[in-house]
C-alpha cells in the first residue's frame, strides 16, 4: 500500500466520525495529553489549530495558557517550510488553517520549543506518523532539538503499519482517545 492509499483510508475513517463522537474523543485526547509528564514540564509548546475533522485541542490550549505555558503555532511558508510563532492575532494560512498573523505575532526559535503536538492523518503502534504529504513537519521537527514530539490522533486513524521513508521520524508518543503509544 502507498502513502496516498493509507491517507485515503485514514482520512475516510476520521471523516466518518459524528461531530459528538469527535468532540468526546477530542476531550479524552486532551485529558491524556495533559497527564503526560513531558507536557507538565514543558514551558513552550508548539501545537496546532484543528481542521474540522481533526482532534480539537482547544481545551488543552486553554489549560496550558492558564498554567502560564507559552503556546506557539505553526505558520506555513513557501517551499514547504514551517515556522513557530506565538500568536498576537490570527489569519487563515494557505491550507485554510488558522495560524498566527505574522504582522502581529512573534517568531519562536525551534530550539526553544520543549514539546511539539503534531497533527496526523495516520499512525501505527510503532509511533510512525503519516501527515498530509507536504512534508512541513518532516522538515521542521529535526530543528526542534530539545523537544519531545507527540502526535494527536483518533484511534480510528491507526493502521497496521505506516509506510515510511528515510526522512520520516517516529514520534516520541502518539496519543488517542483510547491509548498512549
List, in order of start, the domains of the chain with CATH numbers: 3-175 (3.40.50.10420)
Q: What is the pLDDT of residue 130?
A: 93
Is pLDDT of 97 > 80? yes
Is pLDDT of 134 > 90? no
Cα-flanking dihedrals φ and ψ of residue 125, to 5°? -70, -10
Is pLDDT of 9 > 90? yes
Cα-flanking dihedrals φ and ψ of residue 62, to 5°? -60, -45
How many alpha carbons lie under 13 Å from residue 25 in its C-beta half-sphere?
21
- Residues 32-88: pLDDT tens digits? 999 999 999 999 999 999 999 999 999 999 999 999 999 999 999 988 899 999 999
> What's the predicted TM-score (pTM) here?
0.94
Amino acid at each position: 500500500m502507498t502513502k496516498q492509499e493509507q491517507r485515503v483510508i485514514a482520512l475516510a475513517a476520521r471523516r466518518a466520525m459524528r461531530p459528538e463522537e469527535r468532540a468526546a474523543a477530542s476531550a479524552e485526547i486532551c485529558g491524556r495529553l495533559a497527564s503526560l509528564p513531558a507536557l507538565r514540564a514543558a514551558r513552550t509548546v508548539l501545537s496546532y489549530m484543528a481542521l474540522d475533522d481533526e482532534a480539537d485541542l482547544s481545551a488543552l490550549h486553554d489549560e496550558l495558557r492558564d498554567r502560564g505555558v507559552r503556546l506557539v503555532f505553526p505558520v506555513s511558508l513557501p517551499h514547504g517550510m514551517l515556522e513557530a510563532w506565538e500568536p498576537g492575532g490570527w489569519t487563515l494560512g494557505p491550507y485554510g488553517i488558522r495560524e498566527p498573523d505574522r504582522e502581529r505575532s512573534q517568531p519562536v526559535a525551534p530550539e526553544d520549543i520543549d514539546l511539539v503536538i503534531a497533527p496526523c492523518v495516520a499512525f501505527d503502534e510503532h509511533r510512525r506518523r503519516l501527515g498530509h504529504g507536504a512534508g512541513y513537519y518532516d522538515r521542521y521537527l529535526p530543528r526542534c532539538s530539545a523537544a519531545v514530539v507527540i502526535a494527536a490522533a483518533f484511534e480510528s486513524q491507526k493502521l497496521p503499519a505506516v509506510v515510511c521513508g528515510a526522512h520520516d521520524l517516529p514520534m516520541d508518543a502518539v496519543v488517542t482517545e483510547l491509548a498512549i503509544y
